A and B are shown apart, each in its own frame.
Chain A
Amino acid sequence: MRNKLILFCGMMCLALTLSAQTQSKEAIRAKINKAAQEMRTMQCDFTQTKYSKMLNDQMVSKGRMCYKQKNMLRWEYVSPYTYTFILNDTQVLLKNEHRNDIIDTKQNKMFKEIARIMMNSVIGKCLDDKEYKVELVPEAGEWVARLTPLKKNMKQMFQKIILHFDMKKAWVTKVELQEKKGDRTVIVLKNVRTNHEIDNKMFSVR
């Protein structure tokens, strides 16, 4: 009788612990989503490190990012090469030292997808995306979301996309793109400023 009581109490404790963890993840998910909704603008510097498995080598590039709700994003590399990606609603401007190109994402599905991934990754909107299987876990003082692509075209490019969230502010601090062949790209966001005014000229595609 006594053993049965102990077993029953143990099972109740386990059930309560599991329940608490599940609720906590849902609460964090809600917190991240709320932060993304409330983020009218975002500016930051970033460091991007591309790691090549074949060469066992890496290359670092630096840049700046600006985001404005709902569909404006400026992603600019300043070192070691200059390259600018500007998304303004359905128009994308690609600018490098050789040429400028304006692409209409309504007619180009690939660019529409790239723009959507970039925007959603940076502001943390991927968690509710039905195109990924999402695991959200606490790790070393931050929340880490591991996104496994479910769609064929994304599966061919990426094995996983990993987003690191600041626990207090619930915004993205790091994005890791893991490719199937073992390469990975890590983008660290620094000097983040949110909800400051950004001139729309920054997102001009003309």
Chain B
Amino acid sequence: MTVTDYSDATRATGDAIIELVAVDKFFGNFQALKDINMRVGQQEVVVVIGPSGGGKSTLIRCINRLEKHDAGRLVVDGIELSDDVRNIQEVRRETGMVFQQFNLFPHLTVLDNVTLAPRQVRKLPKKDAEALAMQTLTRVKIPEQARKYPGQLSGGQQQRVAIARALAMQPKVMLFDEPTSALDPEMIKEVLDVMVELGRGGMTMVVVTHEMGFARAVANRVVFMAEGEIVEVGTPEHFFTDPQEVRTKLFLSQIL
């Protein structure tokens, strides 16, 4: 058995499915991402941590083109993100995203939220889409809520519906943008449990979170970002026992 070296962000555990090469991103004069190089392998779970305003959200929002990167190369599942709209749609079809604020469609039932994209984008017939939706809702453990509206559910339930909505597109990659930050403490666990199961089930995931327990449980690598740069990369054990950089140590001392 070979020991994989996780200490380099450009390295991945297998074939890379996401690849960022020298990516820059500006908001006006403010540089949100500075020369980001990163590869995420198939079935790898990468947790991104760091102080707020450090570019974590911007990083994963660039991966499915909710933000446009200004320089460098960004390749997802062999498709390079450019101004070509077809490429962008292609990438979005392969990546699911879960937002901090859930962003469920409030005018649609839970079932319609989940079946919308499979029907409209994948062109599945209604019946198949609903069967698929019930399957994913079962996976996040709320099949009984299918006929309700998002407004009738608790925050934790809503976030699990959001995960189901993303999963229904059968994506190759799942992006999580602080999925538990808007939740009441007692609801965080039910969402994390679903995410842990996903990760153990072999889903490729990039997760921005402050939940260190989650990072310990399933992360292959932890990436620490600050001021738009990747400061340090390592395994969870390395990270929580032997961080190298001053900024990393300072950050970890504040949150742990």
A and B bound? Answer: no
| Interfacial residues, chain A to chain B (CB-CB below 8 A) | none
